[in-house]
């Protein structure tokens, strides 16, 4: 897997793909708008909420219009804070396990987000630390990418090529608490030190109303769930809680899905266990590569590794709120066959 970093001056002008700022502004004006905590502007585009920041939104549009999937591409998809970083590290390890011994894994020296880049904001955005779109054609197959975009809004070439999608979902209450912690610093940076950070109750109301970046949550999850039922060779649906409970089983599902199943020999030699250990939160959290520095100029690398537990929400969410979420979950997941475990077994 290539992790080449390009200098902007190396970019060839004629290969730059973009969408004009005026077009972005025009489109934004035509979209429904809300303010998170009366401050942070969100716009509703193709049924889902996005941060209205012009650069961020623009890169989503560029990705939608210009990305060309290869049949061999493997794409991690997720709602934020549902286990993306974990799945990135697992997928990277499975796919690259014959390229280097585990004790020389690039995961030892790179943050998982640097090895599996996010299409809409890293690659098509303006974070120059990442491989740029011009560079995509030079990446060896299989290319590994990530997106937070809902299924219905993905570029046509992802939906209709042979590329495969690995979606990770997590119960809404742990997701919500994880978002609250992760958003603290970026919100202060965006809105200033005087900005009163939202409480868990504030987040809860916004989350239930679906008014959260990439939300509504349940619609995001259900879209991918339905695709995984209709096209099981195209979309693999994983749950954070299942990964916690039986990582070996889930890792085997991942390996089979990407066409690189573990051999009986690998299994008996402990290869699966080694990959699990490499990608465990305690191991990744302890690596120098993940302790300092930032991703995308804002997000502390270490902030992607917090507790990594199922049921941490019980420390923050009242029984009344949990009851409300349960009702909402029942309503939103009715007749889908999908459910979430809120507590560890
Ligand atoms: N290796 C591993 N194993 C188990 N859990 C892990 C791992 N890496 C990250 N995490 C936990 O996942 C939460 C972060 O979610 P994401 O990685 O989806 O964040 S992001 O969307 O990429 O920003 C966040 O959950 P919380 O601890 O509940 O906040 C992380 O701690």
Nearest to 279 by CA among 256, 308, 253: 308
Ligand 1 and 142: CB distance under 6 A: no
The pLDDT assigned to 296 comes to 80
Which class in CATH covers the domain with range 8-333? alpha beta
Q: Is the peptide bond before 129 cis (omega within 30 degrees of 0)?
A: no
pLDDT in tens, 100-151: 888 899 999 999 999 999 999 888 886 555 656 667 888 899 999 999 999 9
The pLDDT assigned to 36 comes to 87
Q: Domain residue spans in the chain?
A: 8-333
Ligand 1 and 85: CB distance under 6 A: yes
For atom 3 of ligand 1, which residue has the closest CA?
281
The pLDDT assigned to 8 comes to 37
Ligand 1 and 84: CB distance under 6 A: yes
Based on the residue annotation, tell me whether 148 is a catalytic residue of this protein: yes
Q: What phi and psi values does residue 145 have, to the nearest 5 degrees?
A: -135, 170
Instruction: Please state whether beta strands 117-118 and 74-78 pair in parallel, antiparallel, or not at all (unpaired).
Output: unpaired
* Other residues' Cβ atoms within 10 Å of the Cβ of residue 6: 14
The pLDDT assigned to 4 comes to 39
For atom 21 of ligand 1, which residue has the closest CA?
80
Cα 266 from Cα 295, distance rounded (Å):
34
For atom 5 of ligand 1, which residue has the closest CA?
308
Ligand 1 and 279: CB distance under 6 A: yes
Radius of gyration for the alpha carbons in the chain, expressed in angstroms and rounded: 20
The pLDDT assigned to 281 comes to 98
* Residues of the chain below pLDDT 70: 1-17, 126-134
Question: Can you tell me the ipTM of this complex?
Answer: 0.99
Substitution candidate for ligand 1 out of 76, 82, 85 with most atoms within 8 A of CB? 85
The pLDDT assigned to 268 comes to 97
**Among 111, 113, 146, 148, which one carries the catalytic annotation?**
148
The pLDDT assigned to 46 comes to 98
Q: Which long-range contacts (CB under 8 A, 24 or more apart) does 269-276 make?
A: 271/97, 272/248, 273/248, 274/102, 275/90, 275/93, 275/94, 275/97, 275/102, 275/251, 276/247, 276/248, 276/251
Cα 209 from Cα 114, distance rounded (Å):
33
Ligand 1 and 284: CB distance under 6 A: yes
Mind giving me the DSSP string for 97-157? TTTS-GGG-GGGTS-HHHHSEEIIIIISSS-TTSPPGGGGGGSPSSPEEEE-S-GGGS-HH
The pLDDT assigned to 186 comes to 86
Ligand 1 and 81: CB distance under 6 A: yes
Cα 224 from Cα 208, distance rounded (Å):
19
Ligand 1 and 181: CB distance under 6 A: yes
Q: Which helix (H) or strand (E) holds 202?
A: helix 200-208
Helix axes 319-333, 217-230, angle to 10 degrees: 40
Substitution candidate for ligand 1 out of 83, 122, 177 with most atoms within 8 A of CB? 83
Report which ligand 1 atom has the smallest distance to the Cα of 284.
1
Mind giving me the DSSP string for 264-291? HHHHHTTHHHHHHHHTSHHHHHHSGGGT
- Sign of the CA dihedral with 119 first, then 109, 78, and 336 last: positive
């Amino acid at each position: 897997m290539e992790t080449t970093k390009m200098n902007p001056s190396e970019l060839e002008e004629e290969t730059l793909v973009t969408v004009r700022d005026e077009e972005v502004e025009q489109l934004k004006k035509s979209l429904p708008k809300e303010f998170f905590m009366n401050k942070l502007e969100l716009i509703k585009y193709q049924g889902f909420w996005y941060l209205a920041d012009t650069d961020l939104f623009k890169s989503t549009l560029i990705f939608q219009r210009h990305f060309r999937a290869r049949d061999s591409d493997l794409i991690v998809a997720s709602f934020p804070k549902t286990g993306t970083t974990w799945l990135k590290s697992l997928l990277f390890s499975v796919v690259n396990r014959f390229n280097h011994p585990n004790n020389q894994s690039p995961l030892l020296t790179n943050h998982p987000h640097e090895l599996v880049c996010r299409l809409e904001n890293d690659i098509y955005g303006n974070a120059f630390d990442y491989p740029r779109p011009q560079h995509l054609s030079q990446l060896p197959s299989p290319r590994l990418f990530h997106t937070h975009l809902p299924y219905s809004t993905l570029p046509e070439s992802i939906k209709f090529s042979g590329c495969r999608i690995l979606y990770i979902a997590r119960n809404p209450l742990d997701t919500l608490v994880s978002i609250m912690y992760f958003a603290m610093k970026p919100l202060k940076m965006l809105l200033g030190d005087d900005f009163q950070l939202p409480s868990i109750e504030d987040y809860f109301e916004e989350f239930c109303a679906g008014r959260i970046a990439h939300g509504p949550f349940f619609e995001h999850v259900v879209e991918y769930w339905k695709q995984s039922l209709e096209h099981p060779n195209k979309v693999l649906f994983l749950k954070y809680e299942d990964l916690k409970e039986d990582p070996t089983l889930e890792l085997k599902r991942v390996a089979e899905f990407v066409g690189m199943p573990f051999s009986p020999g690998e299994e008996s030699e402990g290869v699966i266990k080694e990959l699990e250990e490499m990608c465990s939160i305690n191991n990744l959290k302890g690596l120098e590569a993940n302790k300092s520095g930032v991703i995308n100029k804002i997000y502390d690398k270490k902030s992607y590794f917090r507790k990594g537990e199922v049921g941490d929400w019980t420390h923050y969410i009242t029984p009344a709120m949990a009851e409300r979420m349960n009702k909402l979950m029942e309503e939103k997941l009715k007749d889908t066959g999908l459910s979430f475990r809120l507590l560890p077994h």
